[in-house]
Chain A
Amino acid sequence: MRRIALIAPLAILFFAAPAFAQLSLPGGGNSLTIGIDPVAPRPGDRVALSLSTSLYDLDASTITWQVNGTTIASGVGVKNASFRAGALGSADDISVELVDGDAVASAETRLTPASVDLLWESDSYVPPFYRGRALPTPGTSIRLFAIPYLTKTGRTYAADQLIYTWKVNGAVVSSLSGRGKASARIPAPDLFDQKTVTVDVASPDKSVAASASVTISTGDPLVRLYEDHPLFGVEYFRALPPNFFLNESEMTFIAIPYFAKAQRGNSANLTHEWRVNGTPVAAAGDRTDEITLSAGNTGGLAHLELSVGDRTNILSQAAGTWDITFTKSGGAPGATSGGASSPFGDH
């Protein structure tokens, strides 16, 4: 009887973070190899185990898998098994025993479940009290935040003790990486492009590690039109649709450039080009994001166009058009649309 006892390292290094990795154990041609997927399991993850060897006939061998002393799979040709990784702070001792005729071989390893969450957001503009997340557009920046959960022998590493390696599209960004660098800031991808950002986190002795990736893509900013009501202010809760009727002779509108590169809706880097029925109209005063339309006493149709640009990025643009029918007479919507004359000039 031969017995080949093969002991794996106490933990696994995961810096390369491939989708599938193998443990090459000492012993040259006699080695058993335990494959683990994922290589850096998070607590509670389903972990797939596989066995390979160049010496034994696995299909004819009796194989027994154990995790923490409990048999999880056993039988002839059972080359694969799976289990659920333990909780954070625990360790999973994995062992496999192979019996091939008179030959017995075994291998062992230990997994320490660890994880890192990788969160991100854009610094693009959204109006005050907006309940949603800002989306990335060209020219904006992405803020990234790695939240690591790495433990060893029951002790959780503090985030600032860990070593972070940031990669963008697979290339390490040295300036962002280092001890305690749990956050990063990168330019958003170009229009319709995307970036895959990966963070590898390791304990100082590199005995525990985890990795996470996100793929970020960009879109265009978009512009919404709201009434700036004298009493209620900007009616953010009610965006004006492309066609609408107003039982008013005058109204002030404000354009909100969602996801533009701006600190405020009327930031100096933004340009607003308004047109009413084809005629360029200059916004009054400093508020280039606002326009007041007055139909006088006659009512009428205003075809309002707006193009919002960015002086620092000609590729970043948003535009909108709205057909506004002023029904000063107070008629029901639609009642005056057919014969509405336009005090704003021909359309």
Chain B
Amino acid sequence: MNNFSSAIKFFLAAAIVIILGALLGWYTFIHRQIAATDAESNARGTTIPTFGGQTGSINANISGTADTGEAPPGKAAPRLWHVTKNPVAGDGFASATSTIYFAELSSGNVLIGDPSTSAVVRLSNTLMPKSYEARFAPDGSVILRSVGESGAVQTYAARLATSTESVDSTSTPMMLKGLYLPQDILEITTVPALKLLYLISDNVGGASLIQSDWSGATQKKLFSSPLLEWQLQVSPENTIVLTQKAADNLPGSAYALSGSTLRPLVENVPGLILRIGKGGAMLYSSSNGAPDLYAQASASAAPVHLPIRTSADKCVFAASGLTAYCAVPTANPGGYLSARFQGTVHTSDSWYRIDMSAGTAEKFFTPDPSIALDVENPQIDANGLYLAFQNGADRSLWMLRIMQ
């Protein structure tokens, strides 16, 4: 009996030793794996993500408020502020303020940046992975666009559960609430009074221009076109402008939609890109391999050839329509439009102020030579104080205070 009891004790002790040994081995293995993962992450130039913080994992770990440069959170941002290094899907100024909404390309999360405090706060926590394009309404409502498994373009129209235009570091991220619009929308833009305007393929090989409310409940067909490749804009007076998509050397035309007919604005301009401002003011560019820019101060004015070489998609009108701001490449890459659109070249831009009435351009900001900014999707706040834009080279978001 004693021998049996001793044997049991021996086996129990042995089992405990084996279990402890196995646990120690497992701990050692895990520890080594963590070290290996850390080393691999360091080699990739990244660090292990953390998942806390107001700006969320991606923004905090790739960008975060550290991008404010010399201005720590709580202090005003520098004149040229790198709001986030993270690729963004799109951005838009909040109404009547200089705070900027933006959506991360990777997550579709909506964040807001405030240049007066350098704060960047995450507003939504609804994951919308790989959102390639985002359009904002001034209240933060957002259109997120992605590509589904089948290759079809998905368009999600969403509103934040509670609208906010202040950057409060204590605020809690909210869910995006919205719905998917029909698949394969070709182009979409927001319209004042919370309307949407989108172009979608029809069933006869053309496209239909649809005006919709944000919920998609009420839809109105405004126009049918045998062509699909239009770029949509809405003027401050709510005139809908359709411009043929541009390619180097190919003539393009732009039209204002009047009822259901097209009224020509600019016709047969090679590589035409057009921006519409208040009172019929227009900036448009041609591209025969290199861009030329023209200003037309009003619908009835004659166009003036500006002394700067850039394309109109690098320009934005101030609210008055009398002033515009354009990013101008310091050097002209060949095959200007196609190369930029395909991401094969990127420019390094300076900023110019355009006096539409005088037809003059004056340089007012050149970034530090170490910073190459290929300006895309420039926007201006309602007060005319800040410009926001993406750097086409990495889709990161920047803001520039216009006045020194």
Residues of A whose CB lies within 8 Å of any CB of B are 117, 119-121, 128-135, 143-145, 147, 149, 159, 182-183, 185, 214, 224, 226, 231-233, 235-239, 241, 247-249, 258, 263-266, 328-330
Contact = CB atoms under 8 A, between A and B. Distances in A.
B253 A119 contact: yes
Contacts of A133: 229, 244-247, 250, 252
A132 B394 contact: no
Nearest to A230: B106
A31 to B, nearest CB: 37
Contacts of B247: 132-133, 135
B370 interface: no
B229 A134 contact: yes
Q: What 10 A-B pairs are tightest by C-beta distance, nearest first?
A: A183-B226, A233-B130, A132-B341, A133-B245, A133-B247, A239-B343, A264-B151, A231-B106, A239-B344, A145-B226
A288 B401 CA distance: 46
B246 A238 contact: no
A128 B343 CA distance: 14
B341 A117 contact: no
B267 interface: yes
A153 to B, nearest CB: 18
Given A129-B153, A132-B338, A133-B229, 13 more contacts: A117-B253, A117-B267, A121-B227, A132-B342, A134-B229, A135-B247, A214-B251, A226-B343, A231-B106, A232-B105, A236-B343, A237-B393, A330-B42
A277 to B, nearest CB: 23
A268 to B, nearest CB: 12
B337 interface: yes
A324 to B, nearest CB: 16
Contacts of B342: 132, 224, 236, 239, 258
Contacts of A226: 343
Interface of B: 42-45, 58, 87, 105-106, 129-130, 132-133, 145, 147, 151, 153, 205-206, 225-229, 231, 244-247, 250-253, 255, 261-262, 264, 267-268, 313, 337-338, 341-344, 392-395
Given A224-B342, A238-B343, A182 B226 contact: yes
A232 B227 contact: no
B353 to A, nearest CB: 25
Contacts of B338: 132
A277 B151 CA distance: 30
A19 B301 CA distance: 31
Given A133-B246, A144-B226, A232 B87 contact: yes
A11 B393 CA distance: 56
A233 B132 contact: yes
A227 to B, nearest CB: 11
Given A119-B244, A121-B244, A238 B227 contact: no
Given A131-B245, A238-B393, A264-B151, A247 B132 contact: no
Nearest to B224: A183
Nearest to A149: B264
Nearest to B132: A129
A144 B225 CA distance: 10
Contacts of B206: 143, 183
A335 B342 CA distance: 29
A121 B130 contact: no
Contacts of B45: 247, 330
Contact of A185 (B130, B205, B252, B343): B205
A150 B272 CA distance: 25
Given A128-B147, A224-B343, A143 B205 contact: yes
Q: B206, B250, B395: which has the most chain A beta carbons within 10 Å?
A: B250
B47 to A, nearest CB: 14
A239 B147 CA distance: 19
A251 to B, nearest CB: 11
A266 B226 CA distance: 26
A231 B227 CA distance: 34
Contact of B262 (A128, A135, A147, A330): A147
B43 A330 contact: yes
A249 B45 CA distance: 12
B322 to A, nearest CB: 26
Contacts of B145: 128-129
B226 A237 contact: no
Contacts of B392: 237
A121 B228 contact: yes
Nearest to B147: A128
Given A237-B392, A247-B44, A119 B132 contact: no
Contacts of A235: 87, 343
B81 to A, nearest CB: 21
A299 to B, nearest CB: 10
Nearest to B245: A133
A258 B341 CA distance: 11
Contacts of A147: 255, 262, 264
Contacts of A266: 151
Nearest to A250: B44
A132 B245 contact: yes
B343 A143 contact: no
Contacts of A264: 151
Contacts of A183: 206, 226
Nearest to B374: A237
A236 B390 CA distance: 14
B151 A121 contact: no
